[in-house]
Amino acid sequence: MQTRALVKERSQRNLLLLIDGVKTEEMLLANVVGLKPEDFKFLESLNLIAPVAGSSSRSSAEKPPAFAETEPVDIGALDYPKFTAALTQLISSELGLRGFTLTLSVEKANSIEDLRNVADRVLEQIRDRKGLPAAEKARRTLFGG
């Protein structure tokens, strides 16, 4: 209740509920509607959040690789309708409602390359939430091998 008096913006209050020390700022920014990088600074100024060593301040270039090195998938070999259906099903089964924004991204995708970018985000979220073995299994489901 006291926090609600300090934090008026709904997106900032939602952010407080989602911060777990594992998700990066980039992941949170992508999943909370209306959230801006300044919101993190604001909440930190109120001492409601604090940076965790090695987590949210890492850039995507510093993140560990999501998967073992594998042969790149030939995007031209992927069938758009089948890939769309498989990706949507994977999001639903592995991420549930947490994958809602990714499902919307699948619907907005205009090309197989767009779908591949969404698939990379899906696999990253599965890895972050369920671990590398689950993400590897999901990758094999989508791309074979």
> Domain residue spans in the chain?
2-62, 75-143
Q: What is d(CA 145, CA 142) in angstroms, rounded to the nearest whole number?
A: 9
Task: Tell which residue, 69, 73, 140, 128, has the closest CA to residue 102.
Answer: 128
Q: Are 11 and 34 in contact (CB under 8 A)?
A: yes
pLDDT by position in tens, the chain (length 145):
455 567 878 878 877 777 777 777 877 777 777 888 888 888 888 888 877 654 444 444 444 444 444 444 555 567 788 889 889 999 999 998 888 999 999 999 888 889 999 999 999 999 999 999 999 999 998 887 6
Q: What is the token pair recorded at 51?
A: 């940076």
Q: Provide the token pair at 99.
A: 């994958």
Distance between start and end Cα atoms, the chain: 51
Determine contact, residues 128/22, Cβ cutoff 8 Å: yes
Query: Measured on CA atoms in the order 121, 122, 128, 132, is the torsion positive or negative?
Result: negative
Q: Give the Cα-Cα-Cα angle 137, 135, 101 (nearest 5 degrees).
A: 120
CA torsion 55→61→65→70, rounded to 10°? 160
Q: What is the DSSP letter of 51?
A: P
CA distance linking residue 20 with residue 83, whole number of Å = 32
pTM tops 0.75: no
